[in-house]
Amino acid sequence: MNMANETEALWHALFDHCESERSGTFFLACADNKSGQIVLHNGQILGLTYAGETGDQAVKALNLASALRFSFTADLIFPLQETLLPEQAQALLLQLGIADYQNSQPETVEQPKVSAPRRSVRIYRGRVVQG
């Protein structure tokens, strides 16, 4: 798999998890021993770090990574030094191409969602605590 396909596979997995409103952490690693995390809560990006960079700078570094590998651990909220505001997270997804990805997916019949009020997130030792 070449560099572009590895990074594209990561973005597609990220988009899928965001649309599924999943919570957890993507753990990232590449051939030159750099690592990072993308943390999600209910499908929203809380933060993205890679090779000592955060946000947009981490994305630029990831796009240059070779032999990128990633895994997702559900319900583990990895502690981050810097978090994104919801607007920043949405802008980052748009920059990565989530709109094009959504438009390329086959149409599915959506079941109506039952809207539940969102609570504030409390994290204790890397796990979401009900508040």
Average pLDDT over residues 99-114: 66
Is residue 29 very low, low, confident or very high in pLDDT (cuts 50, 70, 90)? very high
Quickly count: other Cβ atoms within 10 Å of residue 61's Cβ: 17
Q: Which of 39, 15, 19, 14 minimizes the C-alpha distance to 123?
A: 39
pLDDT above 70 for 60? yes
Q: Considering the entire predicted model, what is its pTM? A: 0.75
Mean pLDDT for the chain overall: 83
Please, are residues 77 and 129 in contact by the beta-carbon 8 Å criterion?
Answer: no
Q: Domain residues of the chain, as ranges?
A: 3-103+117-129
Query: In a 10 Å sphere around its CB, with 0-12 CB exposed, 13-18 middle and 19+ buried, how is residue 69 labelled?
Result: middle
- Tokens standing for 115? 């809207």
CA distances from 94 to 15, 39, 85, 108, 131 (A): 10, 17, 14, 22, 30
pLDDT of residue 57: 92
pLDDT for 99 equals 82
Is 9's pLDDT higher than 80? Answer: yes
Considering the chain, what percentage of its residues have pLDDT values greater than 90? Answer: 47
Asked whether the beta carbons of 57 and 88 are under 8 A apart, the reply is no
